[in-house]
A = this chain, B = another copy of it.
Amino acid sequence: MKKQLGPTQNFYPMPCPVVVGGTIDDPGALAVAWINIVSQTPPTIAMGLRRTRHTLERIRATGDFTVNIASTGQAAQVDLFGIVSGRTADKFAATGWTLSPSSSITAPIIDQCAYNLECRITNEVEVGEYAVILGEVVESHAEETLLDQTGKKCDVAKLDPLVYVAGSREYRGLGPKVADAFSCGKPLLPAGE
């Protein structure tokens, strides 16, 4: 038996990277759960930011931003980037996290986050009190020790990305592998398809 719960922003699961805008000398950064890839050609990320956000000003000023994925062991640092405003606290001083130049854009990447995406804004859509920013992923960086055997992408078990759970407002990690995608559904197809 199902129960109607009304309009909601609860959705499962969500990522929880730290998004950085601005420059190394004057950065803005915040934790963002409302973010995901939305296109492959070109690879594009979409994220929703409240329009009053300090970091949004930084992002618009340079027209680019970075997305920095942290591990479950870094939950406290990521959380700090979500609970205070850059207008009142120095989040980098509080976490001890540091920045390095990106290769293709102005916004810097976070050294302590193992996987970093460089994104250039291609579009912005207003949705109520939020700005939905679309950014093309023009470059990515990963810790070499976390790559899989191809050397071209992360081993997700080694990356151990932080996951945000809406509703209960908690952080989790990923569980063990359940099945192979683009494969485990094939036995359900009628013979011959």
**Which residues of A line the B interface, CB within 8 A?**
1-15, 33-48, 50, 67, 69, 72, 75-84, 88-89, 94-95, 103, 115-117, 122-123, 125, 127-130, 132, 134, 136-144, 147-148, 151-156, 159, 161-190, 193
Chain B residues near A175: list those with CB within 8 A: 72, 163, 172-175
* Bound Cα distance A35, B84 (Å): 27
Chain B residues near A103: list those with CB within 8 A: 4
* Bound Cα distance A125, B135 (Å): 13
Chain B residues near A185: list those with CB within 8 A: 75-83
Query: Copies per complex?
Result: 2
Given A125-B134, A163-B13, A169–B181 Cβ distance below 8 Å? yes
CB<8 Å pairs between A and B, sample of 28: A3-B151, A4-B140, A5-B152, A7-B136, A7-B140, A12-B69, A13-B13, A13-B156, A14-B15, A34-B37, A37-B166, A38-B130, A40-B128, A44-B127, A46-B132, A72-B175, A75-B179, A79-B183, A79-B185, A80-B185, A81-B185, A89-B190, A162-B178, A163-B174, A163-B175, A164-B181, A172-B176, A172-B177
Additional A-B contacts beyond A4-B139, A41-B128 (7; CB < 8 A): A5-B140, A12-B69, A80-B188, A84-B189, A148-B167, A169-B182, A172-B178
* Bound Cα distance A121, B17 (Å): 27
